[in-house]
Structure 1
Amino acid sequence: MSQILCITLLLIALFCHASDVEANEPVGILESRNLSHISLIDTDGDVINAQALLARKSITIIFIKQDCPVANGYIPTLNRMYEMVDRRRMNFAFVYPSQSITVAEAEAHCREYLIKVPVYIDKNLALAHAFDATVTPEAVVLDAAGAVRYRGRIDDRIVGYGKRRPAATRDDLAEAIADVLADHPVRVPETKAVGCIIPR
């Protein structure tokens, strides 16, 4: 009886372990992206290749609009993330997906909101299209190999347009960045971003 009991307990333990592993496996995106065909404009007005943003590092890209109250409301949070992240291993970029914004307008927006993150203009929305970004703010985290490891919201403060929680209960982007820098699977690789629609 004792031997049967031991075998039964061992089988239960193995089953539970297998279930835990399955639950922790990433279920979302893991797509490689080659950005070499996409051009962006920096705040000096120079055209750069989007692939250069990777520079053999992971990168967090956040799509923003200067007239989007949701995106502007997240700028202090994103500034703090940028200051705290290990920038030897992770680049950061704000990208304006807009055919109309000028370099002067982007610079004015940076001054008004004290933006510390490097900013770029996606004039023909090619980068937004490449990542299927639909709203601002929307974040994409790529690893050093150029694979998309996370796409979606900053956190869960915004429940719907005009609806928000007093405080976030999940810091999805911060968690994704931590997982990528630790070389772990991202626990929640895709979430729905809520904000201002990116015109197509």
Structure 2
Amino acid sequence: MRRFLFMICAVACLGSHGTVCQTQTRQASYGNYLNGEPVGSLAPSDASAVVLFFAATDCPISNRYVPEMRRIEQEFAARGVVLWFVYPNFGTTADAVKQHEAAYGAENHVLLDPDHDLVTLAHAKVTPESAVLIPDRRGGGTFRAVYHGRIDDRYLRLGQERPKATQHDLERAISEVLEGRVVQQPNGPVVGCGIIGHP
């Protein structure tokens, strides 16, 4: 059972003449920082949305989207949107990600998703793929996905791409969230490298 959507409550009751209960609440992590520490929160409580960019150190298509994701991050950061670079492939090490970040530019929000908690939440299948999350109405610091899929329509299929994108699906979805409108899903498939799970 995936742990990311639930608050786990442990209740200890003590005493012989009465019951004294202490409740401890713990939220499961959203993957790990590169130092191995769990990511307990994806965004501050006043964030408007969280954007996930599923990346891979060895996927050429994913690498080509890094500048576009930086542009999107800069465009929406002032409006309370937090973007994470998520490395989901089984076997990807923190050192490999650090080398990748050094080559393409270090990010503030980078995590490993070895148990595919975020992959499951976002229904991600390939890198590069994106998702837009908003705070769950039930609270507890959890999120729900309102968009998942391609970043834009630059790639038609493997080996075939346009000179430049004509539809910016992710950017449109973020704007729709910020404007309180219904979020449209992407108009085409994601093209990239399959996400590698546990063998």
Whether the TM-score (by the shorter chain) exceeds 0.5 is yes
Deviations 1:125-150 (A, max 9, x none): 23212322110011010123323221
| Residue equivalent to 2:22 | none
Q: 1:132 to 1:158 in 2, by over 3 A?
A: same
Q: Which has the higher contact order (CA 8 A, sep 6+)?
A: 1
| Residue equivalent to 1:23 | none
| Residue equivalent to 1:6 | none
Offset of residue 160 of structure 1: 0.4
Judging by fraction of residues, say which structure has more strand: 2
Match of 2:42 among 43, 53, 57: 53
1:174 aligns with 2:171: yes
Return 5+ residue gaps in structure 2 as ranges. 7-26, 137-142
Offset of residue 169 of structure 1: 0.8
Q: Does the aligned pair in 1 maintain the 2:53–2:84 contact within 8 Å? A: yes
Which residues in structure 2 correspond to 1:135-154 (within 5 Å)? 135-145=126-136, 146-154=143-151
Q: 1:181 to 1:133 in 2, by over 3 A?
A: same
Q: TM-score normalized by structure 2?
A: 0.76
Offset of residue 84 of structure 1: 1.7
Deviations 1:85-116 (A, max 9, x none): 13452111010002211111111111101143
Identical-pair percentage: 31
Aligned positions, number: 166
Cα distance between partner residues in 2 of 1:109 and 1:159: 26
Partner of 2:32, secondary structure, is strand
Judging by fraction of residues, say which structure has more helix: 1
Q: 1:107 to 1:87 in 2, by over 3 A?
A: farther
Cα distance between partner residues in 2 of 1:67 and 1:189: 25
Deviations 1:167-191 (A, max 9, x none): 1110001111111111111233675
Q: 1:76 to 1:159 in 2, by over 3 A?
A: same
1:197 aligns with 2:194: yes
Return 5+ residue gaps in structure 1 as ranges. 1-32
Q: 1:59 to 1:190 in 2, by over 3 A?
A: farther
Q: TM-score normalized by structure 1?
A: 0.75
Cα distance between partner residues in 1 of 2:196 and 2:73: 27
Cα distance between partner residues in 2 of 1:104 and 1:138: 22
1:65 aligns with 2:56: yes
Offset of residue 119 of structure 1: 0.9
Runs of 4+ in 1 over 6 A off after TM superposition: none
Cα distance between partner residues in 1 of 2:192 and 2:186: 19
Cα distance between partner residues in 2 of 1:80 and 1:74: 10
Offset of residue 158 of structure 1: 0.4
Cα distance between partner residues in 1 of 2:176 and 2:186: 10
Q: Does the aligned pair in 2 maintain the 1:61–1:94 contact within 8 Å? A: yes
